[in-house]
Amino acid sequence: MPSASSTPPWDVHRLPRAEGRVFLITGGNAGIGYFIAEQLSTTGATVVLGSRDPAKAEAAMASIRSRVPDAHVRAIRLDLADLRSLGAAAESLAVERLDAVVHNAGVALDDPPRRETQDGHEVMFGTNHLGHFALTARLMPLLSAAPAARIVTVGSFAAKSERLDLDDLQSRRDYRPKRTYGRSKLAQMYFGLDLDRRLRALGSPTASVVVHPGGALDSLTPSRPPVHVRTTTARLRAAPAALLVQGKHAGAWPAVRAVLDPAVAGGRLWGPRLFSLRGTPRREAVWSHLTDTAAAARLWDASRDLTGVDPGNPRG
């Protein structure tokens, strides 16, 4: 006979109910963030899209409601490149508690020149890492008010081959867009794992989990007009790639599981099952360079100094 404590395998198409819970997805109006929001909306939870662009947020919410008629979805204006705005963004949630935040939003530049945020930080490092670092500090009171909140950081497979230059985090000396992007995502992943260690040391019930989507292509992503439109030509051209990678709807699965599955513990890395590039979500070994706690501590100290806040300090 099966054990009474056994649970059915995780099914990405049959998510558990989550009525009464509130989830914030940064960059929830497009790409993987949109599909995280759409999938979480099927659980009965309140899903909040954090977006810089109100028009794009409205389009995303209309698309979600067309597929999930009873969806509880709304949006707040969130600009991770403007650190001074993040306190007001957190207040605009207007909730007593936050059950999960998914740090998904990101900037990826393909070409020079190097650009900076209005705070004077290189735009990919400043948005992808420092923005989420500072936002976490602003959200911590709401996360701490939930019984078992989750902070889910969406990293990137592109970070696996990168290494941080702790003496040039802002890429002032040697700026190469693709490398700078990979390093910004690597910094996010360091942060997510180090944050969980710090939360455990404080005895906090909040857990921090790191995920990555594997290989997620627009051309393999189902249409969600006007948020995303896939042409027949693009679908046919991408068909061979589907043997190795997947669409962004599937790239959302590790983050969705990290939010909902009580068996997902903090301080872990989750990604796609097949070669870490495609398939259903599973726990995988933390990449060896992400286990460098000394590098993580140096990054944390630098991020605290650059943002003026500390997510691991209950007093901010």
| CA pair distance 61, 223, nearest whole angstrom | 15
**What is the β-pairing status of strands 207-211 and 269-274?**
parallel
Q: Map tokens 């207040």 to a residue.
A: 91
- Asked if 289 and 190 touch (Cβ cutoff 8 Å), the reply is no
Catalytic residue (choose from 34, 175, 181, 190) = 181
| Whether 119 contacts 69, CB under 8 Å | no
Tell me how far apart the alpha carbons of residues 293 and 194 are, in angstroms, rounded to a whole number.
7
Which is it for strands 207-211 and 150-154: parallel, antiparallel or unpaired? parallel
Q: With contact defined as beta carbons under 8 Å apart, do 199 and 208 qualify?
A: yes
Alpha-carbon 272 to chain mean position:
15
268-274-279-280 Cα dihedral, nearest 10 degrees: -40
Active site residue 181: yes
d(Cα 284, Cα 279) in Å, to the nearest integer? Answer: 13
Alpha-carbon 283 to chain mean position: 16
CB 138 within 8 A of CB 88: no
Contact 248, 221 (CB under 8 A): yes
115, 36 contact by CB (below 8 A): no
List the one residue out of 71, 25, 14, 66 whose CA is nearest residue 48.
25
Strand 22-26 to 46-51 pairing: parallel
CB contact at 8 A, 171 and 164: no
Catalytic residues: 181
